[in-house]
Amino acid sequence: MKPEDWPRVKAQGRLRRTDARELLSEKQQVMDEEDIRRALTRMAHEILERNRGTEDLVIIGIQTRGAPLAERLADLIEKFEGRRPLTGSIDISGHRDDRPRGQGEVPSRTEVAFDITGKRIILVDEVIFTGRTVRAAMDALTELGRPALVQLAVLVDRGHRELPIRPDYVGKSIPTSKGEHVSVRLREPDGHEAVVIERARH
């Protein structure tokens, strides 16, 4: 691809994303920046209390938005405890059950630069819905080692589970219908902070 083609390709990408977003209209904002900060602060305290400190504690975010949330939780734990747990991020692309078989291998973007065997893993995601993303993340984790335990932390639990998976730490439980979409916007990838419920246009 030539450099002069980049603006056109970027514009096409924005157009496709815009077309998809036009199928949804904002319903309501349920969390703002301060709500998110308070929720993560409470979750960090709960993680420390349940795990009795930071010994062997590791926080791993599910890419994309689980990764910055994992870093924030680690920052808060360091602030409260004086010791920062190891952090990483995990790519579940090759473990999704909604990906057609025979499509070829997907290069992993997992960033975990340490052995997780024997560690207490806090797996972090922004929203839990059916539970299938978490299941895929668990499969990806088993390729990295055998942790002592795995706990799940999510900023938003919107219900409608299809698998027997329940988070250990929840920032906010939000009742939704299956036709609605919960959009978490974070400063790192999006430039601002909010949790918004969107619904399909009729």
Whether the pTM exceeds 0.85: the reply is no
Total Cβ atoms within 10 A of residue 99: 12
Q: Which fold has domain 40-95+107-180?
A: Rossmann fold (3.40.50)
Tell whether the model's pLDDT for residue 9 goes beyond 80: no
Q: Which residues are CB-contacts of 173 (< 8 A; sequence separation ≥ 6)? A: 156, 157, 158, 159
- The tens digit of pLDDT for each residue in 77-88 reads 999 999 999 999
pLDDT in tens, 35-52: 999 999 999 999 999 999
Condensed to tens digits (0 to 9), the pLDDT of residues 73-132 reads 999 999 999 999 999 999 998 887 766 555 555 567 999 999 999 999 999 999 999 999
